[in-house]
Amino acid sequence: MKITILGLGYIGLPTAALIASKNIKVCGYDVNKEIVSSINKGKAHIREKNLDILLKKVVTKGYLKADTVLYESDIFLIAVPTPIKRNKEPDISFVKSAVKDICKVLKKNNTVILESTIPVGATQEIAKIISSERKDLRVPSSVGEKGDINISYCPERVLPGNILKELEMNDRVIGGINKKSTKISLAFYKSFVKGKCLETDNRTAELCKLVENSYRDANIAFANELSLISENLDIDVWNLIKLANHHPRVNILNPGPGVGGHCIAIDPWFIINSAPRQARLIKLSREINDQMPFKVVSKVKRSLKVNNLVAEDSTIACLGLSFKANIDDLRESPAVKVVNKLKSLNFKKMYLVEPNIKKLPSYLDENKFELVNFKSAVSKSNIVLLLVDHSEFRKNSLKKQEGKIIIDTRGIWASNHK
Ligand SMILES: NC(=O)c1ccc[n+]([C@@H]2O[C@H](COP(=O)([O-])OP(=O)(O)OC[C@H]3O[C@@H](n4cnc5c(N)ncnc54)[C@H](O)[C@@H]3O)[C@@H](O)[C@H]2O)c1
């Protein structure tokens, strides 16, 4: 059995390494030459717990090899990006391009599995592409059992920072385009997943993935809305939530500077796009979470004013850039949005602290920002803005620092957040 993983990023690379660790031959395919070359040296281009150790092992033993050329395989597993366009419509062009590449080497009895997050109906769209590119193969439709190949949608639901463990332990939803596709895909996942493998159809599996992240988004939006209400009513939101959560059936999440990452900030739009009239709560949640970075900037402006300060004479330390704690992923990060917006206030100096990266990405202007360590940023700044609850920041409480304005958007230090 030969497995090929298309797209060797945060999902594809750990998946490839995990499957290879079961002594199954895996070929990794990516369009990025640098990523391929780094993987073949046994070095991960992303930071993920235990990934470097596992990768080195499976590459050295010859179970995983990466390439920019796609070869024949038994199973093709697609884990390429699915961003949203400027108008918030899903962009599945990377998936379509990967499928067209697969069509060049696809054979009878092969299985194509989509793990990329996709809008409802996209698996069928992929089947149509295969059908038009490969007229020699019978492609199953949602109703037909007959088919020379198998196509399934099997979404990923891992937690960045704990991906390798969750890939193996989480339950999986497996939705084939027909029963045979589901059965074949189920057998594949059972070879490396210890969690339950739950069978369904492709459309239910597609919506299931989107619903999971929309659920998270709506719950975070509720917490964020509470933080705005509390601020308006001069009540400490962290204390409020702590007290409310003593109710046996209430479990409010923590507010923050917004929602980021490749999933929660993006996937709800796939539902909004498919059912705009029905997805009202989902859309409002997105809007509430998207406005949070602006609210943080307003809070900084208010703090300057209350303390009779002007930005041009002030230095600010912005703590954390990633979209959540203890990871290096800056995609859609609300912290990045906040620092970019603060730029226009013309601070004398803006120090950025992100312990999980070595240099600033090109979209963060090095003339405006300086990446420094926690101690240096805090000692040189009169405003400290905490944006991400990294462990390193939790360890260094600034609660009692004299003469500094501390704005803690994650509630890890201050007990009074007004
Ligand atoms: N990151 C997560 O935590 C997470 C969780 C669940 C689901 N997902 C979904 O998984 C998918 C992949 O996400 P990711 O975070 O791994 O993305 P990523 O950007 O980290 O990696 C994607 C990789 O695909 C490569 N690529 C792009 N086009 C390609 C093509 N045509 N052929 C081969 N390779 C190609 C890129 O070079 C890149 O290395 C997305 O749909 C995402 O929504 C991600």
pLDDT in tens, 99-113: 999 999 999 999 999
pLDDT at 366: 78
pLDDT at 301: 97
Which residue's C-alpha comes closest to atom 11 of ligand 1? Answer: 116
Q: Is the pLDDT of residue 347 over 90?
A: yes
pLDDT at 416: 44
- Same domain for 297 and 178: no
- Same domain for 104 and 190: yes
Cα(76) to centroid of ligand 1, in Å?
Answer: 14
In a domain, 309, yes or no: yes
Cα(328) to centroid of ligand 1, in Å?
Answer: 15
Q: pLDDT band at residue 402, thresholds of 50, 70 and 90?
A: low
In a domain, 297, yes or no: yes
- Same domain for 178 and 276: no
Q: Is the pLDDT of residue 90 over 90?
A: yes
What's the domain count of the chain? 2
- Same domain for 255 and 386: yes
Share of the chain above pLDDT 70, in %: 97
Strand order in the sheet with 369-371: 369-371, 349-353, 315-319, 383-386, 405-408
Q: Residue 66: enclosing H or E segment and its boundaries? A: strand 64-67
Cα(83) to centroid of ligand 1, in Å?
Answer: 9
Candidate of 69, 78, 80 to mutate for ligand 1, largest count of ligand atoms within 8 Å of Cβ: 80
- Same domain for 158 and 124: yes
- Same domain for 328 and 223: yes
Q: pLDDT band at residue 342, thresholds of 50, 70 and 90?
A: very high
Q: Which residue, 160, 195, 230, sits at the end of a domain?
A: 195
Alpha-carbon radius of gyration of the chain: 23
In a domain, 415, yes or no: no
Q: Is the CB of 76 under 6 A from ligand 1?
A: no
Candidate of 10, 36, 78 to mutate for ligand 1, largest count of ligand atoms within 8 Å of Cβ: 10
- Same domain for 259 and 117: no
Assess contact for 112 and 102: CB atoms under 8 A: yes
Q: Report the pLDDT averaged over residues 41-56.
A: 95
In a domain, 317, yes or no: yes
Q: Is the pLDDT of residue 387 over 70?
A: yes
In a domain, 162, yes or no: yes
- Same domain for 241 and 185: no
- Catalytic residue numbers, as ranges: 209, 263
- Same domain for 166 and 285: no
Assess contact for 164 and 54: CB atoms under 8 A: yes
Cα(160) to centroid of ligand 1, in Å?
Answer: 13
In a domain, 207, yes or no: no
In a domain, 414, yes or no: no
Cα(13) to centroid of ligand 1, in Å?
Answer: 9
Q: Which residue, 135, 161, 195, sits at the end of a domain?
A: 195
pLDDT in tens, 209-254: 999 999 999 999 999 999 999 999 999 999 999 999 999 999 999 9
- Same domain for 220 and 181: no
Q: Write out the DSSP string of 123-173.
A: HHHHHHHHHHH-TTSPPP-SS----SSEEEE----PPTTSHHHHHHHS-EE
Ligand 1, residue 266: give the atom nearest the CA.
43
Q: Report the pLDDT averaged over residues 253-262.
A: 95
Q: Is the pLDDT of residue 119 over 70?
A: yes
Is 0.75 topped by the overall pTM? yes
Across 30-34, 199-203, 269-273, 326-330, least confident range: 326-330
pLDDT at 365: 81
- Same domain for 224 and 167: no
User: Which CATH number characterizes residue 282's domain?
Assistant: 3.40.50.720
Q: Is the pLDDT of residue 35 over 50?
A: yes
Ligand 1, residue 35: give the atom nearest the CA.
39
- Same domain for 111 and 243: no
Rounded-to-integer distance, Cα 77 and Cα 6, Å: 6
Q: Is the CB of 174 under 6 A from ligand 1?
A: no
Q: Which residue, 128, 160, 195, sits at the end of a domain?
A: 195
pLDDT at 415: 52
Task: Give the domain extent around 168.
Answer: 3-195
In a domain, 203, yes or no: no
